[in-house]
Structure 1
Amino acid sequence: MRILIVDDEPLVRIGIKSAIDWEAQGVDIVGEAGDGEEALRMITETVPDVVLLDIKMPKMDGIEVLRAMKERQLPVQAVVLSSFDDITYVKEALKLGAFDYFHKPDMNERELTAMLKSIREQFGSQQAPARTGANAPGSRKEQILYDALHGNVHDLSAETGLKEGNMYVVLFKIKDYQAVIKRYTKETESILPNTVQNVVGEILSTEKEVEFLRLNEQLYAVFISNSELKSLLASLTRVNKMVQMISSALKRFVNIDIVLGISDWFADFDGISMGYEQAGRALSQQFYHPETSIFYYQHLRQKSESVYQQADVYLSQMKSALREEANDRFLELLSTWEKFLEQEECMEEKDVRKVYEGLKFMIGESGGKPSGAVQEEVAGLEGIHDFQQLSAAYRTLFEARFKHRHDLGFKGYSQLTRNIMEYTEEHYAESLSLKLFGELFHVSPNYVSRLFKQEVGQGLFDYINELRIEKAKVLLKNYRYKIYDVAEMVGFNNQAHFAIVFQKYTGFSPKQYRKEEV
């Protein structure tokens, strides 16, 4: 797969290029562009499969680029990069054919890898090579089944036991996979998917018109046709029997529970990709019903456009409350939105997570948490796949951040000033500059300087130096640290500069201060 990166911010382009091992993912980054005009030229020259496209850029923005791509019928999948406040532009981009979108603030390795997988799954037979590696189809039959799931139907009658007539696709995944995999060591964790494959393959081996395919470590597909059964009731009864056989065998021999999604019936091989999509949508309902084990596509309620519009209204209201710093009103609106989702079940897990992460970004950083604690927080949220638990976890996080802000005395400052203060609190030991803050928060360096002095009453670097000196005072009390160590630990490049600044703010040299404290 060939990817072109388009963003007017060099740091964003660097971040994307270094986020994951692209070569290991089978990806070739063919180039990068800093504006829309350059992007269109490079798309024509390099012919990428995917373009990561920023919305707000000079010369031509992302929307204009998408329109041009559509008019020229360029065979490229576009994934839009946006800030959280660009939701209107995102909707326009999706209407113009964008494949998906990322919020730049919460883009990470997991998101990027999932995007690649989604594009390969939807366009794999046209754009991506046949899969290789641990999860690749191991035979021609498996490759044929894999292709059929993605709309490329060929040789099914000759190479598989399937026949056209009353067909279904069943998807199943291991319930509480992260907890289950902890039973295994790093060296033996690959045993689990192989064991599942062997057990299911064995119990289905004697069944007519049934095929089985492992998609990855957690997800498996079963294809069932019922050409000899004339009624839909008889066909569904047979499908339910297969489902019970699989569940019982895995519980008995591997001691695991599974969750299943069952498609509606379809008549012929051309319906397999539709059945795959239906089974996936059915399976996704576990997010709202974690205690249920079997989900049927035919039982899903179809949502009207007004339901999605109402969800957008709640989201806009929550964003407005955050901009106005009406924290209590935000939490009330959050509860209303969550109750609405529980009732309507109109958003999939990945989209709910994007909203929560966007709200988290608007509220601001965690304020002084060690990086390890932040990583644990992220890992903890990623491990939750139950809507009620996820909403409770994010509410706790939001409330903690509101409290932290209040404790720091940020009330009355603008969002930008609070963000700068919180970032400084966490990164005071690093190199800080107006240019860095401008790039981080998408404003000009001069505006950062002017606004900070206007609201706080002192220059930004006076504020940073005061913070560094306060941190240094604490460290100087500990004789394990040499003075030059303390200087480096609080963000000064050399001991001489540290001594000058310390004298300015305290009236003492670092050495004198240490003696006075003793």
Structure 2
Amino acid sequence: MWNLMVVEDEPIVRMGLRYMIHWENLNVCWKAEASNGEEALGILADEDIHIVMTDIRMPGMDGLALADEIKRRNPSIALIFLSSYDNFPYVKEAVRLGAVNYLHKPTMDEREVEETLQKAVEQLERTMQCQPPQLMEEKINAFLLSLLDKYTYPARIIVPELLEEPYRSRGVWLTTFRVRDDAASGVAETDRMKFLSIRCVIDEYASREWGGFVFHRNHREIIWLAPAVAGTGAEGKEARDAYVDKLRQRVFELLNVPLVISCSSVYGRLDQIPKAYLEAELNCPANQQFHSLHVRLAKEYVDRHLLEDVSLAKVAETIAISPSYLSRIFLKEVGESFSDYVIRNKTEYSKKLLRETNLKVYEIAEKLGYTNPHYFSKLFKERVGMTPLEYRNQ
């Protein structure tokens, strides 16, 4: 079902359109309506919209300005324009923006609206077929990674399976996998191909017998987020431990790669996934070559004190090692420097605040422990490629 949003400042026109045709028969869901362009952009930020039918002449942001912004944010959205004016410049601009059709409100009828919707659906189906699969995979991977940290946890779950059974009532748990350090080749391309092979094996066997989602962080760590109850009906700690061991053995048999594995217990709510991930990180056996105890403690400290002025010296003092040693082992085991790790996490949280709150930039900087908002904006632009305000307005 394709989601439709109608943007029209006259309520009577919106009502007339809503009851003019049977939208569901065209595989279209009347998802949302807005009375102006600004309201429509707010809805687009929160809802998954595929088709926008918008009036051209509206107070404030008009339909053409709205369409320009929509195309900049998401070029795959199908646009349909409405207007009371049979005006050639409007038609010309609609064509430039790639509109599906330009409907003249005083003369349009049920058949014309239906044909336009059918054309929009056909356009969307072609677009989805042409979309590179890796782009969708990267989007889902980024979303699943955002679930792992309370500072980046999303306002909306975009993977519908997570809102269904068995996740909804039985809970979730997760497992982390890494190639043991002494099994790494030291050649980046070789290690990357090995990593992809491991991920494919885990994904194939986990999804086939238990279920869940397999994703990765920077091609260094594989995370398996699973329902508490397997597709086969298995449940309980004993069953989970046995299945994880089975996965470990399968990877070793097929690829001759030893893995370091750590699991969480079951958590009843999706918003507790960050706790599950932290538990898995801290549960890693000390005698296995994963993150060392000191690195795990340093990451835990950063996660718990992200909204403060976190420094390498302060963390090193807390976990009783020298700053230089912590800096060296952190870079080796995590793959980025301690300061880059802190800045990346603060940046991700600031992106969430920019998307989901009305806090001013200086307030966000202050909240993240930056006393100088200009320095915060500079760091943000270096990592995101745009200023905080540009990111919020995109």
Q: Structure 1 length normalisation: TM-score? A: 0.24
Higher relative contact order, structure no. (Cα contacts within 8 Å, ≥ 6 residues apart) = 2
CA radius of gyration, larger in: 1
